Amino acid sequence: MSEKSFRSILTGSFSTPCADNPTVAMIEAGYHHAGLDARYINCDVKAASLADAVKGAKAMEWAGFNCSLPHKVAVLDHLDDIAESAKLIGAVNCVAIRDGKLIGHNTDGKGFLTSLKTVTSPTGKKVVILGAGGAARAIAVELALAGAAHITIVNRDASKAEAIAKLIRDNTDVSGDAQEWSGKFSTPAGTDILINATSIGLGDPKTVPPIDMSSLTKDTVVADVIPNPPQTRFLKEAKAIGCTTLDGLGMLVNQGVIGVEIWLGRTLDSAVMAETLETIFGTENK
């Protein structure tokens, strides 16, 4: 009879507030389906306690952890090494612990890229990204590294958009520019992929980014990073035009899958994880 181990693999998340983060349900469903004795612990960690939380995870020999707001930049001060794309993005949302060393990664953009590839390749495409926050920055970097032809960043504060465009121009072979978002934005002719990387529509099925939808064609792939509701009004309006659409559930699921691959070297079942989220969000939106 083989010995039974009562020690679970520990992973988790540090953020505040954290009670509305469904990642724990998604990843633990994936762990259970894979037969892994692993836990994902959703921790409310205030900014002043981040250093202690990181030391605790290392001391307890966690396999790794996610960092969400407000820790994605602050955690950089507590790491031993940072993956190349995370250095470009300037933020880390996934930390692996290997032999007592902490290595930072960013799976936001990678999760989006994996999801995008289910409907189209970014290679050689003209991309427009709405917003200039952390998600927009991560997505822009990963799309540039994946060979997009041109990336336009659109934001009310044009200087923030230009900072991302300059990052792309200076560090990749991809051209990038910034446009100020004033009034209804008209998507430039020839745009292959339009991405809403803002929080407009999060938790609100009636709100939509101020876009001139008549500027879209059915050849444009329209994506939204918002996972709840999965079918935002923005996507519904784009679908009515005939556009191929991509919801934010795929990005959330895939960044979870990628994170666990980094921590454990195991690939979880994305369908099981997506079904878990759909059940959660479906219940919340009834």
Given the residues 72, 110, 125, 126, the one annotated as active site: 72
Predicted pLDDT of residue 1: 52
Q: Residue 279 and residue 123: Cα distance in Å, rounded?
A: 34
The answer to whether residue 256 scores a pLDDT higher than 80 is yes
Of all residues in the chain, the percent with pLDDT exceeding 70 is 98
The answer to whether residue 286 scores a pLDDT higher than 50 is no
Question: What's the number of CA atoms in the CB half-sphere (13 Å) around residue 115?
Answer: 32
Report field, pTM of the whole predicted structure over 0.95: no
Predicted pLDDT of residue 203: 85
Strand partners, 89: none
The answer to whether residue 148 scores a pLDDT higher than 80 is yes
Residue reference for tokens 């935002």: 232
The answer to whether residue 283 scores a pLDDT higher than 80 is no
Summarize the confidence of residues 180-190 as an average pLDDT: 96
Residue pair 135/160 in contact by the 8 Å Cβ criterion: no
Summarize the confidence of residues 82-110 as an average pLDDT: 96
pLDDT digits (tens, 9 = 90+) for 19-61: 988 999 999 999 999 999 999 999 999 999 999 999 999 999 9
Tokens linked to 278: 């759909």
Q: Residue 104 and residue 184: Cα distance in Å, rounded?
A: 38
| Nearest by Cα to 67 from 98, 44, 37 | 44
Active site residue 72: yes
Summarize the confidence of residues 251-273 as an average pLDDT: 97
Task: Give the helix/strand (H/E) hosting 27.
Answer: helix 23-34
Summarize the confidence of residues 165-172 as an average pLDDT: 97
Strands across the sheet containing 150-155? 175-180, 150-155, 126-130, 193-196, 221-224, 244-246
Beta strand 94-98 pairing with 64-67: antiparallel
Please classify residue 17 by burial: count the beta carbons closer than 10 Å to its beta carbon, then call 0-12 exposed, 13-18 middle and 19+ buried. exposed
